[in-house]
Structure 1
């Protein structure tokens, strides 16, 4: 099969390298500076083992043509541009796999989510009947464009947006698992997306506001209590849309604590002056909350504060 990864960040580079090391025909579509940096390969460090993969590196989507699988591993603010750039890669049978944080554009039935796809351009460029939902439970660092360090790998979950188990989703899960990506097809990818969001929709913005690593955030009693109030609201929204969460907030924070002094992706973006993916993490959940009539004052306050910070720093 022909596979292309659009977005060569920490997650995209890791996935590209693992698939290439497994023997697949893998291309990475990147901008010229990144393409130059990747010319000598991508080094992956995982569990003390260092390997170098050599996927094809391209800067022009038209030169690659339609793919069997297109993995889009960009952050929310870059998705519209990425979807437009991906057009030459998408044929009638291409599977489109967005590997992104937060609420995707296809998440709810009915009216589109204005917060993540205000013009409908993303939905137009990425046909929903070709999309496979994806949730990545992994933590990767990228000290330089050609080196990926895997701090934690739990699972890479895939599933149909419709909630049915399909042969193509099962095959994709197998493909990821055999490449060392802990792939698994699940029947309800929407619920899996909300579960991950439940944890990082608070930790990410709070770290961006405070410039603190996760261990310091959890050690502060007032901050921890605020996180738990936000998580309780997010759980209520999830229950209202058929994505209930059985764990308590304290249970989830115990898992976060095992990662130690790590920097969330949003904190890394703030430090590097990159746009923050606030809309998919907070604006979209609040839009959904308004639709289903769930009050979320703590999430709204967190969103407002983070948006003001991002605007002040030019990160929106």
Structure 2
């Protein structure tokens, strides 16, 4: 099986490293000038050197069996176009993207793919929906896994498939817990339900999750109720209470969200995938979401002011 991981950040490095350690010989496609001979993978108390085939150009490489996109949501259009020659008619496309993806509804979400570039580059029949539940950081050539729960994989239209089962087996063989879902849209929305509030608040306040929960709990709960109403309208109902979901986050302690890490590093933030897309869905279905609108506006203004939009 030929596998390319597009994106050499934390998640991409973790996935590629795990696949390599299991003998699957993945190729890691990175941005120009970022080639290396491998990376260091730190998990628990162990640290291992991982040799990888790292490239910054797809010249001379043909269609792959599996292409995994592990990039920021706003970078997916460029990454998909750069990797176009890797995608043949039988390639399975696995976008490990934070937030709500472009294919989530019909018509596709303009907030995430305003020019249709992602949709043109990544044929939907070849896409497998993915949710990553893991906290991973990259510092130089070291990938540090802080918490790795599981990867959820499923067909965008729901149901079972052989290709999802094969992907789950691939990841399980590589030491990554993988779960096949018959309703991956619900899994995506459930993760977004928590992230669409915590991530922007962390970017605005520069605070860790524990402090945000302590100081902003009523706002968090109000936003989660608005997101719950959107979920009902799009067929992704959530039965868990907001308080129960916050309790899960509290158990993680004083962690920095991915959006906070991006702000601190001066990198663009994923505001459209995390807030723009839910608000587009709310508008389509006539669901009022005043708190989410205000959170989006403040986060967008902050990002524009800091050059992170």
Report the TM range for the smaller structure's normalisation: over 0.9
- Find the counterpart in structure 2 of residue 112 from structure 1: 108
1:3, distance to aligned residue in structure 2 (A): 0.5
1:34, distance to aligned residue in structure 2 (A): 2.1
SS of the aligned residue for 1:61 comes to coil
Asked if 1:88 is matched to 2:85, the reply is yes
The whole-number CA distance in structure 1 between the counterparts of 2:13 and 2:93 is 17
Asked if 1:62 is matched to 2:55, the reply is no
When normalised by structure 1's length, the TM-score is 0.96
User: Once the two structures are superposed, what CA deviation does each residue of 1:212-262 show, in whole Å capped at 9, x if it has no partner?
Assistant: 011111121xx1110111011111111111111111111111111111111
The whole-number CA distance in structure 1 between the counterparts of 2:55 and 2:264 is 28
Stretches of structure 1 lacking an aligned partner (at least 5 in a row): none
- Find the counterpart in structure 2 of residue 32 from structure 1: 32
1:314, distance to aligned residue in structure 2 (A): 0.8
- Find the counterpart in structure 2 of residue 16 from structure 1: 16
Stretches of structure 2 lacking an aligned partner (at least 5 in a row): none
The whole-number CA distance in structure 2 between the counterparts of 1:134 and 1:76 is 13
1:25, distance to aligned residue in structure 2 (A): 2.0
Find 2:247's aligned residue among 254, 262, 275: 254
1:63, distance to aligned residue in structure 2 (A): 2.6
Find 1:132's aligned residue among 128, 132, 136: 128
When normalised by structure 2's length, the TM-score is 0.98
1:64, distance to aligned residue in structure 2 (A): 2.3
The answer on whether the counterparts of 2:34 and 2:56 sit within 8 Å (CA) in structure 1 is: no
The number of equivalent residue pairs is: 309
Find 1:271's aligned residue among 256, 259, 264: 264
SS of the aligned residue for 1:124 comes to helix
- Find the counterpart in structure 1 of residue 286 from structure 2: 293
The whole-number CA distance in structure 2 between the counterparts of 1:277 and 1:268 is 12
SS of the aligned residue for 1:34 comes to coil
The whole-number CA distance in structure 2 between the counterparts of 1:91 and 1:69 is 10
The answer on whether the counterparts of 1:177 and 1:184 sit within 8 Å (CA) in structure 2 is: no
Asked if 1:245 is matched to 2:242, the reply is no
The whole-number CA distance in structure 2 between the counterparts of 1:244 and 1:46 is 35
Q: Which runs of 4+ in 1 moved over 6 A?
A: none
The whole-number CA distance in structure 2 between the counterparts of 1:178 and 1:192 is 23
CA RMSD, Structure 1 to Structure 2 (Å): 0.9
Find 1:302's aligned residue among 265, 274, 295: 295
